Amino acid sequence: MRTTVFPASLLLAGLLASLVLCSADRSLAAKRDVPTPAAPSDLQAQIRSAASKVKPAIVNIAATVLVRDQALSDEGLPFGLFPEGPPRRQYGQGSGVIVSEDGHIITNNHVVADATEVEVLLADRRQFKGRVVATDPKTDVAVVKIDATALPAVAWGDSSQLAAGDFVLAIGNPMGLNQTVTFGIVSAVGRADVGVADYEDFIQVDAPINPGNSGGALINVKGELVGINTAIASVTGGSVGVGFAIPSNMARAAMQSLLKTGRVVRGFLGATTQDVLPQLGKLFGLPDVKGAIVTDVFARGSAEKAGLKRGDVVVRFDGKEVLDSGRLRNWVAVSAIGSKHKLDLVREGKSLQVELVIQEAPRERTKRIPPQAKSDADGHPFGGLMVDEITPAIGRQLGFGSITGVVVTTVDEGSLAEGAGLMPGDLIMEVNRQPITDLASFQKAVQPIKPKDVTLLLINRQSTYLYVPLEGE
């Protein structure tokens, strides 16, 4: 069955196994100076206290969005002159968390995106008109404001202290059932590539998340806010024990930046990176499949000033192990502008350390999708792959500017190049770490390659640099 990630309107539930600890175990724990687990009655009291402390700060958010349906003819075909029907109201529901006594509420962007009206229902049944004051789709965070004072506000917790196995509670309004509390554990931290937001560093929990829970609170047993519930992975649309929450540290930083500047100010590495895959790990001489490979360094950026070079592999950030490029990107993004950090690198098999000074991320640039170029030039060393030189005309057409290399014009179906993921429009800039400036240098570089060799290509695809291993048979 297919597993799908469903955004917002979700939450978590879990089973609490009874905890039994004999006096001998307590004595042994004391001798070893190990924290003694709470007895079932103590844990019950903690959970009840945490839930009662936070529930008053959980709100129900009802958002109204205007949508237009396509007008159809009697035959069911769209009208040419009137492609859209009259607008109609569509209603959505989610949760939110009061984080200030004067009425600031944090929720998910997808709960209130494009809303024309927002109604906020408090735990005490009072209802207010809300206004969306700031949104950040990249982290799926939004801030709603209501005109009220002396409201119950949740206390922020430190999400960086969470670890797998920690007890957590999820509080929200699943299926419109207000003030619902579910219980579970942290299943994992640092989940990325979930497909919900651009910046993902999710807390995974087994507490059930269902439609309506989006924007609700994930709290620890102290009653502190450690996450904003956001999505579930499910084959049915309901909870199967795999839920995701935005870490409170990320959500809080986004909210504070939004309220202060109207946008989220993020740190920027000044370089593009990619994950270390098994083949790449071997080609770069790495001991394991971890780290972030630097594929491009931007002029006058943080990475260039720190001395980073293309092909460097970042393995630690301030002593923390970099498992993948997404983890590195998130750590840099939440770092204060101007702050200094230690990067541990592997460069051509040797270890070194550099200091990175965080700069602000540039404003978003529109990505260009290069059209397919046409040519009869034949790069025969790679069967099924055709390339051509970058002429000024082709360079302008594909948006490569003054970048040198050869452009992929044709990739035959079923070829090794297609299997490696090469596509028409890719610009091949290096072959086995050797720069490619034109068709002649490309042919010279690939000529000695044998059928069973693994070749490392550096390509530029839609302004993104990638290392691609091409393995023969």
Taking the C-alpha atoms of residue 351 and residue 363, their distance in angstroms, rounded to an integer, is 33
Please give the structure tokens belonging to residue 388.
Answer: 């051509």
Taking the C-alpha atoms of residue 322 and residue 175, their distance in angstroms, rounded to an integer, is 39
Please give the structure tokens belonging to residue 311.
Answer: 């092909």
Catalytic residue among 214, 239, 302, 335: 214
Rg (CA), the chain: 26
Please give the structure tokens belonging to residue 300.
Answer: 């006058």
Three-state DSSP class for residue 392: helix
Instruction: Look at residues 278, 342, 350 and name the one whose alpha carbon lies nearest to residue 311.
Output: 350
Task: Express the helix, strand and coil content of the chain in percent, nearest 5 each.
Answer: 20, 35, 45
Three-state DSSP class for residue 431: strand
Please give the structure tokens belonging to residue 315.
Answer: 């393995």
Question: Is 325 among the catalytic positions?
Answer: no
Taking the C-alpha atoms of residue 124 and residue 93, their distance in angstroms, rounded to an integer, is 18
Question: Is 187 among the catalytic positions?
Answer: no
Please give the structure tokens belonging to residue 26.
Answer: 């307590």
Catalytic residue among 9, 104, 140, 275: 140
What is the CB neighbour count within 10 angstroms for residue 174? 28
Taking the C-alpha atoms of residue 98 and residue 87, their distance in angstroms, rounded to an integer, is 32
Taking the C-alpha atoms of residue 161 and residue 323, their distance in angstroms, rounded to an integer, is 18
CB-based burial label for 150 (10 Å; 0-12, 13-18, 19+): exposed
Catalytic residue among 110, 248, 325, 388: 110
CB-based burial label for 353 (10 Å; 0-12, 13-18, 19+): exposed
Question: Is 140 among the catalytic positions?
Answer: yes
388-391: long-range contacts, CB 8 A cutoff, minimum separation 24: 388/439, 389/438, 389/439, 390/427, 390/438
Which residues are the active-site residues? 110, 140, 214
